Amino acid sequence: MTRLLPLFALLLTIFTLAACGQTAPEPAPPAPETDVDLTAVKQYALDHAAQMKTGTSALAATAQTYHDLLAANGFDYAAAWASHPDELTQLVLQARDNWLTASNNYELNEGIVAGVPSLAFYDTWIDAGPSGAEDPAAAYQWTLALPNGDSLENPGNFFHSLLEPTIWGTKAEFTGLKVDLDGDGTITLGEALPDANVLLAAAQGLDQATGEMTAAIETWQPTVSDAFTALVVMIPTMNEYFEQWKLSAFVAGQASEETAFIGASRLVDIAGILNGLDVTYDNVGVLVASADKNQHAQIMDGFADLQNYVADLHAQEASGTDFTSQQADLFGTEAQAKATALAGQVAQVAALLNVKIAE
Amino acid sequence: MMKRKIITLVIGVLLVMGTAVSALAADEMQPWQAADAVRDALFAAQKAVLQADNTAALAELQTAQAVAEEEFAGFSPAVQSVLEQAFARAQTAVTDQDPVGVAAARGEIMGALYWGAYESLQQAITTGDQEAAQAWLLVREFRPSTRFSRPAADATLALQQMDTLAPDAVQAQVNADLLDTYQARLVTSLNTAVDAALVPERRAEAAGLAAALWPILAPAYTEQGGQEKLVTAQLAELQTAVLTGNESQIAAAHAQLLEALSSFRAAPLSPEEQARRAGQLMRYLSLVPVEYGRGVTDGVVMQELEIQEAITFMDGAQAAFADLQPTLAEIDAAQTQAVAQSLQQAAANLQAANRQENVVPVPQMTADIQKTTESLTAIVPPEWLSQNADADFDVLASVLDQVETAVQAGDYKRAESARLEAYAIFDVGPEPRLLAFSPALVAEIDGLFWQGYEGQDGLAQVIALQEEPAVVAAARTKLDAALSQAQLTLGDAPSSPTAVATNAAIIVFREGLESVVILAALMASMVGAYKRFRKPMVLGVALSLVATAVTFWLAQVILTSLSRYGERLEAVVSLLAIAILLLITNWFFHKTYWKDWMKGFHQQKRQLLSAETGQFVGLVMLGFTSMYREGFETVLFLQALVLDAGTKVVLEGVGLGLLGVIVVGVITFRVQQRLPYKKMLVYTGVLIGIVLVTMVGKTVHVMQAVGWLGITPIKGLTFPYWAGLWFGLYATWQGLILQVSAAVFVLGSYFGAEWLQARKRQHLHSGQKKTLPA
C-alpha cells in the first residue's frame, strides 16, 4: 500500500495542476441587469391574456352554435338564411363582438408578446404571421384541420388571416354567402355569412392558442433585457401598421381590397401596442432616470406624445372623419418619425445601462 | 432694531430672488423640448393647410417661428439665415395654400435645427461642458432599426465619459455616430425625393431636409477631396425640381447626387470597425455556397428555405462590402468595382433561383464566390483579415436566427444543420482564443450549444427533442447571454506577452497530459523482455512531434483553410488513435494472444509482414497517434494566440508547457518502475482503460459536431461541464453506448485473456498428467 502512495500522490498532483489551468482569468463582469421589479409587466400581460381568453372561449361557443345551425340545414347557406335570418344575423354579430373582445385585449398585450423573444412566436401564430400564399418563406408551417375533413395548409395567423376575413366575409373561400345583414336593402363590404367549418376550426384553434400563450406568459420571467428589446423592436413598427391603416377600409372605404383590418381600425391595434409598451417603460423608467434624467424625460414625453397622437386620430376616425390617402400618408410619416426617434432614444439608454437588446 | 429690519429685508429679497430664479429655471425649455415644439407646430400648420384652414396654419407657423427665434438664438449666423429664409417660404406657401411648399419648408427648418444642434454640441465638447453637450445631443435623428443593425449609441456613451476622455476622442466618437446617421438620412431623403409613387408633400419635405442636413457633412466631404459647392448646387436643383414636379429633372439631380456621394464616407470606420466589417464580409460570403448547395440539387431548387438563407447571407455580405467600398476603392478602384459587380451578379443569381428561374448550378455558384473571395483577399489589407471575434459573433447571431426561423417553420432538420454551422463558426473562430482566457465560459457555451449546462437546456437537445419554438427561443436566449459574455471577455482579453505565454503553456500542458498518461504507463510496463518495444513508441512520439511542428508551420501559411477543416481532421485522427489504442490495449493484457493471433494470421495468409513487424508498426502508430491527436488540437488553439501576440511569445509558452509535460512523464515513468510488476500492470491497465473511455467520449462529441454521427439526447440526464471536459461524458445515447462498449471490450478482452490462459494451463496440466509414468 505504501508503494502505491507515490502513484496516488502523482495522480493527484497531475489533476490538481491541470485543474488549476482551468482557473484562467475570470471573464469580464456580466452586463449589469440592475435590480428592477417587472412583476407588474407580467401581471399586465396575464390580465389581458385572461380577458382575451373570455373572448376566444365565447367565440368558440358562438362558432359551435353557428356550425350546428348550418349543419342542421345541410350547409345550404341560402336555405339557412331564408329560414333563420334573425338567428344567423345575431350569431354573426355576436361573433364579431367576441372577436373584438379577443383582438382588443390581444392588442393591449401585443407590444409585450411580440417584442419579448421568448413569447414572440405567439404573435406570429395568433396575430402577425403571413400565410403560405402571401409569403412562403416566412410563413409558419402549420395545418388547420376543419371539421368536414378538409385542411388549410400554412393558413397564416388566427386573427387576420383566418377569423377576420371569415367573420366579415372579405375572403371568398371563407365565406358561405353574402347577405344583407343590416336589412337596408344592399349588401356592402363586411356583410356575409361565414363559412361554418372555417369559423369553427379557427375559433377553437385560437382558443387553444390563447391558452398556450397564457401558459407561456405564466412561466415567463421578465428581464430588463426583455423589456428593452420589446421597446426597441416594437416601437419602430408603426410605419407598417400605418401603411395597413391607410389601405384598410377605414381609409379607403369601400374601395379597400384588404381582407384584414375591417373589423377594427389598425389604430386600435397601434393604441393597444403603445399601451403595453408604455406599461413596460413605466416599470424600467426608474432605471433610466438614474442613468440620464433628461433622456428619461424625453422618452416619457415621447410616449405620451405618440399615444395622444394616435388617440386623437382614432377619435377623429370614430367621429366619422374621412381621411384622404394624402392625409393618411402625412399622419403615417409623422408617426413613423416619432416612433423612430423614440426607439433611438430607448436604444441610447439601453446602451447607458449596458442592457443587451436581443436580436 | 434697525439692524434687525435690514437683515430681515435682505433675507426676504434673497428668498424672492431665489424663487424667481427657480421659477425661471423651471420654465426654461430644454433644447429637445424646443425642437419638438417647433416640429409639432409645423406639423399642425401642414395639417391646417391640407384642411384649407389658412388662419390656423399661419398661427401655428408663427408659434414655431417664435420658439425657434427664442430658444435657438445662439445658433450660428449661417443656420439662422437658413431658418429665416425657410420660415419666410413657409409663410408664402401657407398664403398660397400650397401644402407642398409648406412641407418643403418644414424639411428645411428641421434640418437646420439639427445642424444648429450639431454645432452647439461640438462647441460644448470643445469647452468641456458635459451638461450642455448632453442637452444638445438630444436634438438629433437616428438610423431606423434593421435586421442587421440597431441605432448606435457611440455619441451618448462618449459624452458619458467626457470627464475621462480627451475632447478629440469624444469628438471622434460623436462624429462616428452622428455623421454616419446624417449621411444615411441624407441618402434616404434623396431616395424619398425621387420616388414618384409617394405623395408630393413627402418628397418635398425630404428634399428640403436633405439640403439642410448637407452643411453638417460638407466639411468631411471637402476634407476627402469632394466639391462641396457642386453638391450644394445639385441639392438646390433637386428641391426646385420637386417643387415644380419636373420628374426628369428630379431623376437627373438624384443620379448626379448619388454619383457625387458614392465614395464618400462622412464618418470613416475605425480600424477595428473595418476589420469587423471585413470579417463579416468573408464569413457571410463563405456561407452563401454552403446554403445554396443545400438548396439546389441537379440544377433544381429542392429547398427554398436554403435559398432564402443564402440570400440573407448575401445581403449581409453586401452590406458589409458597402461600408468598406470607399476605402477599398482607394486601394484598387478597378478591382473594387469588379468585386462589386461580381457580388451583384451573385445576388441576382440567388434571386433568380429564388424565383425558380434560371437556377445556376452549384459548382458555378461556388466557383463564382471563390473567385470573388480571392479578389477580395488580394485587395483587402492583411490586418483586416486577421480573425475578428466581433465579426464572428455578428455572423453567429445571424446563423442562430436561422435556427429559430427553421424551428418556427417546423423544419428541425434544417435547424440542426444551422446549429452545427453556428457551432462551427464558434469552434474555429472565438473559441480557441476564449479557451486561453476563460475555459469555464467555453465549457458553458459548449454546454448551451449541445446538451445543456447546469440545469439549462442545450440547443442541440431541444432541437433533437423537437421542442416548441418558445422553448428553443429560450435556450437560444441563454446561449446569447453567454456569447455576449464571451464577446466582452475577448474584447477585454489581456494581450500582454506574459499572459499569452502562460496561456499557451497551460494549453500545451493540459492537452499533453492525456498522451503522457498513455505513453508513460505503457512504456513503464515495458521491462525485461519487452524493453525492446520502447523504441518504436519513442519513434512514434518523435514523428508526431515533427508532424505537429509541420502542422504549426502549415497553419501560419494556410490559416483559414486549416481551421475550416480542423474538426474533421481531429475526428479522423481521434478515430485512428482509438483504434490503435484498442488493439494495443488488447495486446497489453494478453501478449501471448497477440503473438498467437499474428502467428496464425501469418500461417493462414502467408503475409509478407512478420508478427514482429506488425507489433513494431502498431507501437509506432500508437506513439504517433496518441501524441499527434493532442498536438493537432493544440496547434488549432494556439493559432488564436499567435494572432494575438506573435509566434515568438507563443513558442515560449509552448516550451514551458512541454517542459511540464516531460517532467510529469518522467515522474510517472519512474514511480511506476518502482511498483511491483503485477500490481503496476493492473493499475496501469485501469488508467489506460479510463483514458480510452474518455477518448471515445470526446471523439464521439467531435464526430457529432461535424455531423458524422447523430445526436440523440438522453432526456432528463445532464452532466456537469467538467464531466465532459475531463471524462468525455456527454448526455447522448451515442456517446454513452460507445463508451460503455469500449469499457466492455477492454474488460472483456482482459477476462477473455484470463480465461484463455486458464484453459492453456489446464491443457498443460492434463498433458503433463498423461506423460507421468504409471
Examine the pLDDT at B25 and tell me if it is beyond 50: no
Judged by CB atoms closer than 8 Å, whether chains meet at B304 and A117 is answered as no
Partners of residue A348 in chain B, C-beta under 8 Å: 151, 153, 156
Question: What does the CA dihedral B463, B468, B473, B479 come to, rounded to 10 degrees?
Answer: -40
Selecting from B437, B477, B499 the residue whose C-beta is nearest the C-beta of A118 gives: B477
Grid coordinates representing B609 are 509482414
pLDDT band per the 50, 70, 90 thresholds, residue B495: low
pLDDT over threshold 60, residue B599: no
> Per-residue pLDDT tens for B237-260?
999 999 999 999 999 999 999 989
E-strand ranges in chain A read: 143-145, 151-153, 175-178, 192-194
Residue among A108, A344, A114 at smallest CA distance from A226: A114
- Select from B151, B199, B470 the Cβ nearest to the Cβ of A347: B151
For the cut 80, the answer to whether the pLDDT of residue B584 exceeds it is: no
For chain A, which ranges sit under pLDDT 50?
1-4, 7-8, 15, 17-33, 249, 254
Per-residue pLDDT at B741 exceeds 80: yes
CA distances from B315 to A136, B185, B192, B379, B444 (A): 19, 20, 22, 21, 31
Query: What's the CA gap between B403 and B463, in Å, rounded?
Result: 9
Q: How does DSSP classify residue A324?
A: P
Q: Are A268 and A314 in contact (CB under 8 A)?
A: yes
- In chain B, % of residues over pLDDT 90: 33
Q: At what angle do helices B647-674 and A5-20 cross, to 10 degrees?
A: 160
C-alpha B353/C-alpha B343 separation (Å) is 15
What's the gap in Å between the CA of A352 and the closest CA on chain B?
Answer: 6
Distance from CA of A347 to the nearest CA of B (A): 6
- The residue written with cell numbers 469552434 in the block is B427
Residue A101: the pLDDT is 95
Is pLDDT above 80 for B576?
no
For the stretch B404-432, pLDDT in tens is 878 877 888 888 888 888 888 887 678 87
Q: Cβ contacts (< 8 Å) between B517 and chain A: which residues? A: 14
B135 touching A, CB under 8 A? yes
Which residue in the set B153, B308, B725 is minimally distant from A137, CB to CB? B308
| Closest in B160, B470, B675 to A7, CB measured | B675
B437 or B68: which carries more pLDDT confidence? B68
Give the nearest chain A residue to B35 (CA atoms): A298
What CA–CA distance (Å, rounded) separates B676 from B333?
76
Q: Which residues, other chains included, contact B522 with Cβ-Cβ below 8 Å and sequence gap of 6+?
A: B537, B584, B588, B622, B684, B688
Contact call for residues B181 and B152 (beta carbons, < 8 A): yes
Q: Quick check: helix, strand or coil at residue B577?
A: helix
Contact residues on chain A for B484, CB-CB shorter than 8 A: 31, 356
In angstroms, the separation between the Cα of residue A67 and the nearest Cα of chain B is 31
- What are the DSSP calls for B150-205, one per residue? ----HHHHHHHTTTTS-HHHHHHHHHHHHHHHHHHHHHHHHHHHH-TTS-HHHHHH
Question: Sorting pLDDT into bands at 50, 70 and 90, what band is B24?
Answer: very low
Nearest CB neighbour to A117, from listed B157, B473, B486: B473
Under DSSP, the state recorded for B224 is T
User: Which pLDDT score, from 0 to 100, does residue B673 have?
Assistant: 65
What value does the mean pLDDT take over residues B192-218?
Answer: 94
* CA distance linking residue B50 with residue B547, whole number of Å: 80
Give the residue from A133, A176, A173 showing the smallest Cα distance to A157.
A133
End-to-end CA distance of chain B: 150
Q: What is the pLDDT of residue B521?
A: 65
Stretch (H or E) spanning B301: strand B300-301
User: CB–CB of A348 and B151 under 8 A?
Assistant: yes
Neighbouring C-alpha atoms within 13 Å toward the C-beta of B294 = 17
Q: Are strands A175-178 and B300-301 parallel, antiparallel or unpaired?
A: unpaired
Average pLDDT, chain B: 82
pLDDT in tens, B548-566: 888 888 776 654 444 455 5
The yes/no answer to whether this complex scores an ipTM above 0.85 is no
Bridge-based pairing of strands B296-297 and B300-301 is antiparallel
What end-to-end distance do the CA atoms of chain A give, in Å? 60
Q: Do A343 and B506 touch (CB under 8 A)?
A: no
Q: Is B393 on the interface with A (CB under 8 A)?
A: no
Render pLDDT for B120-159 as a digit per residue (tens, 0 to 9): 999 999 999 999 999 999 999 998 765 456 788 999 999 9
pLDDT at site B306: 78
Residue B742: the pLDDT is 86
Q: Does residue B533 carry a pLDDT above 50? A: yes
CA nearest to A54, candidates A128, A116, A104, A92: A104
Nearest to A352 among B160, B470, B674 (CB): B160
Amino acid at B603: Q
- Torsion from C-alpha of B280, B284, B285, B286, nearest 10 degrees: 110
Q: Where are the domains of chain A?
A: 1-12+29-38+223-359, 39-220
Mean pLDDT of B74-78: 97
| Greater pLDDT, B224 or B598 | B224
B530 has pLDDT over 80: no
Measured between alpha carbons, how far is A92 from A263 in angstroms, rounded to an integer? 12
666-685 of B, contacting A, C-beta below 8 A = 667-668, 671-672, 674-676, 679, 683
Tell me if B683 and A4 make a contact (CB, 8 A cut-off).
Answer: yes
Is B492 within 8 Å of chain A by CB? yes
Task: Note the pLDDT of residue B16.
Answer: 54
Give the highest mean pLDDT range of B251-265, B380-394, B476-490: B251-265
CA distance A114 to A277: 11
* B588-608 burial code (b ≥16 CB/10 A, e <16): bbbeebbeeebeeeeeeeeee
CA distance A337 to chain B (A): 9
